[in-house]
């Protein structure tokens, strides 16, 4: 049980650190004229992340889930997702954010994992929503939140790509 709480603490501290990085980047980007898209969608994603942790803890504690027989494989997948996520964050630099913030006429980043993948950070998140609960045999949380996450990410990617297209022709003609 101690492994669960330590792992959970690690993941929560990661998310809180990422929120601090995102907030710093948001200030920098907005000072340069970035426009935010889909504030309500961002709130839904934030609520989903909190609900994910509540569900994970509840399923683990109340349904007395144990460490999965294949936890090592899931942990390796989790570690791979971390490498992909932080490679994406490093590659985007100040442009990485948890919100959809777009600078007018900004060129897309085409280095790091973005040289090979369109949305590497989202791929990492999809992997995490599946494998974090599976490490501890929390199958309900893995299924329900993987599904919700996919629905929200599908919507978010459409909005994000539309915002990027608008930015490439200049916001001035669209606002």
**Do 131 and 64 contact (CB within 8 A), yes or no?**
no
pLDDT of residue 106: 84
Q: Show the tokens assigned to 23.
A: 């907030």
57-83: pLDDT as tens digits = 999 999 999 999 999 999 999 999 999
Are the beta carbons of 76 and 138 closer than 8 angstroms?
A: no
Q: Is 148 exposed, middle or buried (0-12, 13-18, 19+ CB in 10 A)?
A: middle
The pLDDT value given to residue 175: 45
Average pLDDT over residues 81-109: 95
CA distance 104 to 82: 30
Q: What is the pLDDT of residues 7-40, one digit of tens each?
A: 999 999 999 999 999 999 999 999 999 999 999 9
Of all helices (H) and strands (E), which one includes residue 102?
A: strand 100-102
Q: What is the pLDDT of residue 172?
A: 47
Q: Which range marks the domain in which residue 141 is found?
A: 2-173
> Which of the four pLDDT bands, split at 50, 70 and 90, describes residue 167?
confident
First to last CA, the chain: 54
pLDDT tens digits for range 149-165: 999 999 999 999 999 88
Find the CATH number of the domain harbouring 48. Answer: 1.20.120
CA distance 66 to 136: 6
State how many domains the chain has.
Answer: 1
- The more confident residue out of 80 and 174 is 80
Residue-wise pLDDT for 33-58, tens only, equals 999 999 999 999 999 999 999 999 99
Average pLDDT over residues 129-151: 98
- The pLDDT value recorded for residue 94 is 97
pLDDT at residue 169, as a whole number = 67
Helix (H) or strand (E) holding 6: helix 2-31
Q: What is the pTM of this model?
A: 0.92
């Amino acid at each position: 049980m101690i492994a669960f709480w330590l792992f959970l603490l690690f993941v929560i501290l990661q998310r809180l650190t990422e929120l601090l990085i995102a907030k710093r980047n948001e200030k920098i980007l907005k000072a340069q004229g970035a426009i935010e898209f889909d504030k309500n969608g961002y709130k839904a994603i934030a609520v989903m992340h909190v609900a994910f942790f509540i569900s994970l803890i509840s399923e683990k504690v109340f349904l007395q889930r144990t460490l999965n027989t294949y936890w090592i494989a899931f942990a390796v997948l989790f570690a791979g997702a971390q490498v992909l996520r932080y490679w994406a964050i490093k590659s985007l630099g100040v442009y990485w954010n948890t919100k959809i913030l777009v600078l007018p006429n900004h060129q897309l980043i085409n280095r790091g994992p973005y040289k090979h993948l369109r949305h590497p950070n989202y791929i990492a998140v999809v992997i995490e929503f599946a494998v974090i609960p599976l490490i501890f045999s929390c199958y309900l949380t893995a299924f329900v939140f993987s599904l919700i996450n996919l629905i929200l990410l599908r919507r978010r990617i459409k909005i994000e790509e539309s915002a990027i297209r608008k930015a490439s022709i200049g916001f001035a003609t669209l606002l």
